[in-house]
Amino acid sequence: MAAPPRLSKMPISPRRRQSTIKGYLVGVVLALVLTAIPFGLVATRALRPIQIFVVIGIAAIAQAVVHLRYFLHLDLKPSSQNKLIALCFAGVVLFILFGGTLWIMFNLNYRKM
């Protein structure tokens, strides 16, 4: 085939492009901050261990939300029903996996002692 005909790229209006770049930057900054907090806490041991655990857990969940919101552009608008179903299903599965892991780990721990 001779030189394939060119395809026009999806037009992106300048305003939209700017807003996405801004969104990505905000996301990166938030992600970095949320990474720095746990590492900082562990390095300095500023809190008691159990408190550090809790903060790390919260930072991890927040991190996931930031990724979904700023990088995968998920929102809770009802327009995207598929997304919502997928998100709910993921939530349930993650709950089972995390809950089950915590259950078994504490159970084993308890029996070891």
Partner 1 sequence: MLGKLTIDALPFYSGIAMGGALIVVFAVLGVVALVTWLGQWRYLWTEWLTSLDHKRIGVMYVTLALLMLVRGFIDALMMRTQQAVALNSDGYLPPGHFDQIFTSHATIMVFFVAIPFLVGLFNVVVPQQIGARRLAFPFMNSACLWLTAAGAALVMISLVIGKFSTAGWNAYPPYSEAQFNPDVGVDYWIWAVLLSAIGSMLTGINFLVTIVKRRAPGMRLMMMPLFTWATLCTNILMVFAFPSLIVAAALLGLDRYLGMHFFTDGDGGNVMNYVSLFWIWGHPDVYILILPAFGVYSEVVATFSGRRIFGYESLVYSTAAITVLSLVVWLHHFLTMGAGSDVNAFFGRAAPLIAVPTAVTIFGWLFTMYRGRVQFTVPMLFTLGFIVTFVIGGMTGALLAVVPVDIHDTTFLVAHFHNLLIPGALFGYFAGYQYWFPKAFGFRLEEKWGRRAFWAWIVGFCLAFIPLYILGFMGMPQRLNRYYDPGWQPYLIVAECGALFILCGIIFLAVQLAASIRNRAALAVPTGDPWDGRTLEWATASPPAAYNFAVVPHVHGIDPWWAMKQAGATAPRPARFHDIIMPDNSSAGVVLGAMSFVFAFAMIWQIWWLAAVGALGIFAAVLSQTFRDHAEHRIPASEVEAIESRRILAPALVSGAPT
Sign of CA dihedral 25, 28, 66, 34: negative
Residue 110 interacts with partner 1 (CB under 8 A): yes or no:
yes
Residue 70, class by beta-carbon neighbours within 10 Å (0-12 exposed, 13-18 middle, 19+ buried)? Answer: buried
Sign of CA dihedral 92, 97, 100, 103: negative
Interactions with partner 1, residue window 7-66 (CB under 8 A): 7, 9
> CA–CA separation, 83 vs 80, rounded Å?
5
Smallest gap from Cβ 15 to partner 1, in A, equals: 22
Residue 97 interacts with partner 1 (CB under 8 A): yes or no:
yes
* Region near partner 1 per CB under 8 A, out of 25-33, 35-43, 61-69, 105-113: 105-113
Q: Which residues bind partner 1 (CB under 8 A)?
A: 1, 4-7, 9, 82, 89-90, 93, 96-97, 100-101, 103-105, 107-108, 110-111
